[in-house]
Structure 1
């Protein structure tokens, strides 16, 4: 073999800068409809009224053709039974709606007391619950309007219609309501079980990871500066209503920054509470836009959502864990199940650096810098409260120790200090809560099942 160096390959043309992912803006109207119970039942009832009118027309046409063929007596023989069926459905459906509504209220109450008030959004936003409630209401309204079109005459020459089609449709709607009710009960029972709720929150968090692409290469490198440190520039204040920042319209802010030839550094993070007068953006270079243009690009609401907010997923899991560790509940096994999923999410984030997202315009110029929680802040959110509340529970401390040890093995060296600090604080908390050396050593032994 020759000892000569291989010929160097000339560098190719520079690659164009990669653009940050295009995010789908959160629609306030869509979110309002998903979190409300009036939209689906209202339109279902309106549809039931229209359907009742349509079936009445069909019944009239069928009876008119039957009268012409002199078979109206045959239809009239079924009329009494059909009307009796519809009347029975109408009276029974109202009771059935009360049962469905009562189960919903009990589920909401149990979910709030057993898990966390933040988890109630899973019930409120459930499409199956709304579909079941809307279908039952539509069936009740439909049968009421069908009965309004009844004609009690027995003379075929004067009879207006016989509700044959209406009865068949009413029976079909009842069968659909029963099928949805069975699915609704099954879904409600799943939402009342801790593992399914924790798994649902975890899957939503994984979807957020995929949507906002925190592991995208167009990230500003992580620094050790304070979270509230921002470049020098003009600071614009919030002029809208106060509330939780649920979403930022990235495209609109990029257009505003491009039009004014500036770079906007967003101050609050997704999930922060902003009040009138709160700093929203720092304008660097160019001419500052009007604050109102920035305010209209911020979606402010009363509660956080999972849209672009991975920290909210951690917050829900932590809330479930510390509520389970409260003296009123005292369920460390549930806390261990929450730590399992926290461990899973942190393991996915561990190999990747985090930093402020840099959004570019179509020419590749950075126009918006959006802060995201760093690695240290995420680790603190994931472990601090559970460590404090569960220091006296060996099942929890052993699972926390196993999670921290595993994360230390897979995390790059520069990102281990927050995990090491959590490990030291865990040992100190256990030492303060458990004084016996043997029990303390047992409580700090790593175990993926807690005590298993």
Structure 2
């Protein structure tokens, strides 16, 4: 039960519901129906003697205005949101679609408009059928005024937000925010709270049964299964790995055999281990820090394409990638010095070299022929080399030299290449200069 209700699993499941556009409107609709009948609770009390009498016609008028306008506004908001989604997919990258759909302000606005419509319809029907008495009409009038105020405030706030939703800067900001959260989570738990992998994976192979990307690993469930069977599980596919039938997800090491006892590996039913790897058609940001780097790199690559020719966006993305990788090089949040929570699960750490490949390979390739992009890339790699982390420095050295080679092959003017070479930290003339 502890494995099923682990906090990490609940976070993943709740995150999936958050991405659904219908969840918040549905919840608000249910709350609006409840609110419409709350006024009935005060009928029959002494409140009617202390509140002013409200004419039923005035309440009907307000509710009729709300019912007639909210559905139109909700329809308009949906059309505006769809337009913003299409803009994000065409100007940035389709991989950012889930982040734009999950925009809290847009979901809250749509929920408010639909909820106000449902509230007004239900309350209007109740008023026309004389469901409320004097006290109930007063409370309903107060609720209606509050709903009106909430709608107006939400609409004004939403207009400002929808003007930015789907724009390049807003999309990059959302991707950076999602990548930052994933990087912080993995930096503080580099082995997903398991044991660090110290040797080559070995043992019985657990293979995938479906095609897709590993979106989440329920380490708690694997730990519980490993304890039941007295084995050790070695994770081979981190979130973001492409899985297919025959592809190894994990390896099972028989502790009983290591201790000189006999137990056939064929006796293990690894179905629960396979189910612990949540595989879906797309990569997700939550548990896959590298995916945020990939999406940012795609945005920069599209900006550098001849059809768009927007090196400024690529330069901005390089700055975003620099912030993210500097964040990765910062010390993790101090935790209690205890044994790992899941001591029977070995998990490899993310390779810094792979993260640099995701972030900078496409930009260095597509921007090699643009001197301003090549110069900014060399400066960013120089800054990463000075962070102080040995892995970051080694990866920055490698990609700095590789980017310089690409620039040399792509830049036709000797002066342009000289400008890039002069800021490159590992060229013949580029020493450790401050930029």
Q: TM-score, normalised by structure 2?
A: 0.80
Alignment of 1:35-74 (within 5 A): 35-56=19-40, 58=42, 61=44
Query: Which residue of the other structure, out of 404, 419, 425, is the alignment partner of 2:381?
Result: 404
* Aligned match of 2:309: 330
Task: Tell me how far apart the structure 2 counterparts of residues 307 and 159 of structure 1 sit (CA, whole Å).
Answer: 48
Give the deviation of 1:426 after TM superposition.
1.7
SS of 1:257 mapped into structure 2: helix
- Higher helix residue share: 2
* Aligned match of 2:180: 206
- Residue 382 to residue 151, structure 1, CA distance change in 2 (3 Å): closer
Task: Tell me how far apart the structure 2 counterparts of residues 152 and 282 of structure 1 sit (CA, whole Å).
Answer: 67
- Residue 300 to residue 182, structure 1, CA distance change in 2 (3 Å): farther
* The 10-residue stretch of structure 1 (344-353 or 373-382) with the greater mean CA deviation from structure 2: 344-353
Task: Tell me how far apart the structure 1 counterparts of residues 15 and 129 of structure 2 sit (CA, whole Å).
Answer: 48
* Aligned match of 1:304: 283
Unaligned runs of 5+ in 1: 1-21, 224-229, 354-358
* Aligned match of 1:234: 204
* Aligned match of 1:4: none
SS of 2:234 mapped into structure 1: strand
Q: Aligned residues, how many?
A: 401
CA RMSD, 1 decimal: 3.5
SS of 1:296 mapped into structure 2: helix
- Determine if the alignment matches structure 1 residue 165 to structure 2 residue 139: yes
Alignment of 1:52-451 (within 5 A): 52-56=36-40, 58=42, 61=44, 75=53, 78-151=55-128, 163-213=137-187, 219-220=196-197, 230-239=200-209, 241-286=210-255, 288=265, 289-350=268-329, 366-411=343-388, 416-446=393-423
- Residue 80 to residue 388, structure 1, CA distance change in 2 (3 Å): same
* Aligned match of 2:432: none
Give the deviation of 1:405 after TM superposition.
2.2
- Residue 31 to residue 209, structure 1, CA distance change in 2 (3 Å): closer
Unaligned runs of 5+ in 2: 1-5, 256-262, 333-337, 425-434
- Residue 207 to residue 49, structure 1, CA distance change in 2 (3 Å): closer
- Residue 25 to residue 83, structure 1, CA distance change in 2 (3 Å): closer
CA contact (8 A) 1:243 1:300 kept: yes
Q: TM-score, normalised by structure 1?
A: 0.78
- Residue 61 to residue 83, structure 1, CA distance change in 2 (3 Å): farther
1:25-52 deviation per Cα after TM superposition (whole angstroms, max 9, x unaligned): 3555423311112222122222222222
Give the deviation of 1:62 after TM superposition.
8.0
* The 10-residue stretch of structure 1 (303-312 or 203-212) with the greater mean CA deviation from structure 2: 203-212
Give the deviation of 1:151 after TM superposition.
4.1
